[in-house]
Amino acid sequence: MYRYDTYDQTLVDERVDQFRDQMARHLAGRLPEEEFRPLRLQNGLYIQKHAPMLRIAIPYGMLSSTQLRTLGDITRRYDRGYGHFTTRQNLQLNWPALEDVPEILADLAKVQMHAIQTSGNCIRNTTSDQFAGIAGDEVEDPRPWCELIRQWSTLHPEFAFLPRKFKIAVSGAAEDRAAIQVHDIGLRLWHDSDGSLKVKVLAGGGLGRTPMIGDVVREDLPWQHLLTYLEACVRVYNQFGRRDNKFKARIKILVKALGIEEFRRRVDAEWAHLKDGPQTLTQAAVDSARAHFIEPERRAVSGQAIAAFEALRGENRAFARFVTNNVCDHKVAGYKAVTLSLKRREHAPGDVTADQMDAVADLAERYSFGELRVTHEQNLVLSDVPVDQLEALWQELEALGMANPTVGTLNDIICCPGGDYCGLANAVSIPIAQALQERFEDLDFLYDLGPLDLNISGCMNACGHHHVGHIGILGVDKKGEEYYQISIGGNATDDASLGKILGPSFYREDVPEVVDKVLKVYVEQRHDDERFLDTYRRIGLKPFKERVYA
Amino acid sequence: MPDTQLEHTQTLIKLGQPEQDEWALSRVEEALPKRRPVIVPLALWQANAEDPQLAPWLASDTLLDDELAKTLAKAPLVAIDFPAFTDGRGYSLARLLRERYGYQAEVRAIGDVLVDQLYYMSRCGFDALALRDDQHLDDALRALGAFSVSYQPGVDVQEALFERRLREANSA
């Protein structure tokens, strides 16, 4: 993974000093809250319902064991011994004290981490595919490109006060696992027929109050121009994005208002001046970024060991379930990627205790070269596990409560912190997730349903990505009462779509029953192995609506 | 117009150092003040551009195109207004003025200019920073020097850090 040199380290250290100074001025009364606010937000610090919240960046989801241990340590010393992995590959602390935050940032800097631009109206943490570098369907490892974007966007002097937040996601595989169509800018790396690397650039996707699928700005940008082209896109947004109404300030509104042709024309006009300028990438620049993401020294795994693994899978039903759901194929024979489920009833989705962080850090060292990844589905991944160690790892994960064989099922709920923590939320979301996990815990039932994304957001800001859940649940507030709106048919992958609302919203206690009715319609109407999403696309909303509101 | 409506900057930082400010600022669109030198709204300056004691200020939503840039080339200084510190359009305007149109004289930030914007402003080509009256000079000078390294090229450093690294690796 990427390792800081003295320049990177100097920059994050100086950032800590800068924030220490800002915090001191704030506490001394020289920096009023209104003016401190954007500064603290650009260091990840929110003031939430019960306490401040600190969002720590995990650039494109890559984390080392050392970093994870430090995170655990920080949650013990400054918080309540747990953290929350978010849908944008970040980690949130729910209970830090305001005045401790500079110290927390200083501790993070010691392990090459920071909270820079994890919030605020600026370019946020760039996200990517959790299987980057190991997926069989990958044409280009997105991580070096993400790192180049991270550096370009970090403390960008021109783009610290954009109209609104700006999120970039990068995918380099055949299957989009980074939800690039619902980001302000989505980038897809691909090879043309000559084998040269091109970047497809989408703009104007996003969730929130006005969900939209991104439009293609450029199909085949040569890789050399990635940064200058991004600069042109963001400059056009900075100049022309709406600033009069924060609900209409995202780039998606600008793209729709101008139309994609006019938006493209403006970007190209801007780019004409920047193209071939100082940020043009060279082969040497890309090679040096790539040098940080070299293949680990994997050992050979014998055919015998692979056969033994397959045999065990045939004999042991529990192990087989785990492998089928939580283990992914790897581009190297004999290796697998293992997803650690952070979805279990006892904890909020995405929550991990400090002790679990330590334990997972150890597991990553013993089984997967001391590195792990954070997924936008709020799970963790050990990316390089030899199959002859899978059984041992599985047993250790069972003991840790992270082997729930439900990844990709209805039980693998994506969920924001909701009204239990978040100052923006209209309604709680974690108790909804827990009620659903309790109701639908029978594994055979879950497997019979097949792949099903159920996403919950506690408000229309959509941190829980409810618009792109096959089933989406949104907390709404009506005259001080919590209600839940249910939509179906959303999807975040290649054939991305936004869910449609079933109808009037429901009381909290009725949500599991409504979901059950939706599932029954699917089970009755599906053809053979048809996915929930495909059944919905075939039969439409009506049968679901009729059942639910009968 | 009565000159009582003029604004006078209490703290001006020019090229990183505090400096006594000669220029007054008028935000009145309709009439020229008597005082010289004075910074006036763009349209007013355009109508009186032959007066070397006048300079224009640009609103943050100014569309800076080739034609306007050509006119501005004659100005003794160009000020860019920050109506609110959260309005980031001025940063793009300053870069365009410097990098695209090669404007050489003073580019001044006016309006809601706070300590914690100064570093970014200086990177975007502002060489004169007219602080809002309640800002402290010592805080400002410290904030200006907050960083010794940057990833991106700007008006101050024309080389991206990735290019610098390659250059240094090659010469090592």
pLDDT in tens, B91-147: 999 999 999 999 999 999 999 999 999 999 999 999 999 999 999 999 999 999 999
Residue A126: closest CA among A110, A142, A146, A140? A146
- For domain A303-400, the question of CATH label 3.90.480.20 is answered with yes
Identify the pLDDT of residue A504. 96
- Where does the pLDDT of residue A313 fall: very low under 50, low under 70, confident under 90, or very high at 90 and above? very high
Identify the pLDDT of residue A48. 76
Identify the pLDDT of residue A493. 87
Identify the pLDDT of residue A422. 86
Asked whether the beta carbons of residue A284 and residue B154 sit closer than 8 angstroms, the reply is no
A414-548: CATH topology: Sulfite Reductase Hemoprotein; domain 1 (3.30.413)
| pLDDT over 70, % of chain A | 100
Instruction: Please give the average per-residue pLDDT across A519-542, as a whole number.
Output: 95
Q: Answer yes or no: is pLDDT of A396 > 90.
A: yes
Q: Is the dihedral of CA B151, B153, B155, B157 positive or negative?
A: positive
Calpha distance B14→B2 (Å, rounded)? 28
Q: Answer yes or no: is pLDDT of A460 > 60.
A: yes
The amino acid at residue A360 is: V
Give the relative orientation of helices A303-315 and A317-326 as an angle to the nearest 10 degrees: 110
Calpha distance B166→A151 (Å, rounded)? 15
Identify the pLDDT of residue B67. 97
Tell me if A158 sits within 8 A of A236, measured CB to CB.
no
- Summary mean pLDDT of chain A: 95
Calpha distance A127→A117 (Å, rounded)? 13
Q: Which residues of B touch A163 (CB under 8 A)?
A: 88
The amino acid at residue A339 is: T
Calpha distance A367→A363 (Å, rounded)? 6
Q: Answer yes or no: is pLDDT of A49 > 80.
A: no
Q: Is the dihedral of CA A76, A79, A82, A84 positive or negative?
A: negative
Same CATH topology for A303-400 and A414-548? no
Min Cα distance B163 → chain A (Å) is: 7
Return the CATH superfamily for domain A134-290.
Sulfite Reductase Hemoprotein, domain 1 (3.30.413.10)
- Where does the pLDDT of residue B2 fall: very low under 50, low under 70, confident under 90, or very high at 90 and above? low
pLDDT in tens, A490-525: 998 888 899 999 999 999 999 999 999 999 999 999
Helix segments in A122-259, DSSP class H: 143-153, 226-240, 251-258
- What is the value of ipTM here, to two decimals? 0.97
Query: B160 touching A, CB under 8 A?
Result: yes
- Summary mean pLDDT of chain B: 96
Q: Answer yes or no: is pLDDT of A345 > 90.
A: no
SS3 A514: helix
Calpha distance B23→B130 (Å, rounded)? 11
pLDDT in tens, A242-291: 999 999 999 999 999 999 999 999 999 999 999 999 999 999 999 999 99
Tell me if A88 sits within 8 A of A376, measured CB to CB.
yes
pLDDT in tens, A127-170: 999 999 999 999 999 999 999 999 999 999 999 999 999 999 99
DSSP class of B100: I
Which of A39, A155, A158 is opposite residue B91, by nearest beta carbon?
A158
pLDDT in tens, A18-43: 999 999 999 999 999 999 999 999 99
Q: Read off the tokens for A415.
A: 């969920």
Of A137-151, A340-354, B35-49, the least confident = A340-354
Identify the pLDDT of residue B75. 97
Please identify among residues 9-28 of chain B the ones whose CB lies closer than 8 Å to any CB of chain A: none
Min Cα distance B34 → chain A (Å) is: 34
Q: Answer yes or no: is pLDDT of A448 > 60.
A: yes
Q: Answer yes or no: is pLDDT of B1 > 60.
A: no
| pLDDT over 70, % of chain B | 99
Choose the mutation target among A3, A6, A7, A234 for the interface with B, i.e. most B CBs under 10 Å. Answer: A7
Q: Which residues of A touch B115 (CB under 8 A)?
A: 25, 31
Q: Where in chain A are the domains?
A: 6-59+79-110, 134-290, 303-400, 414-548
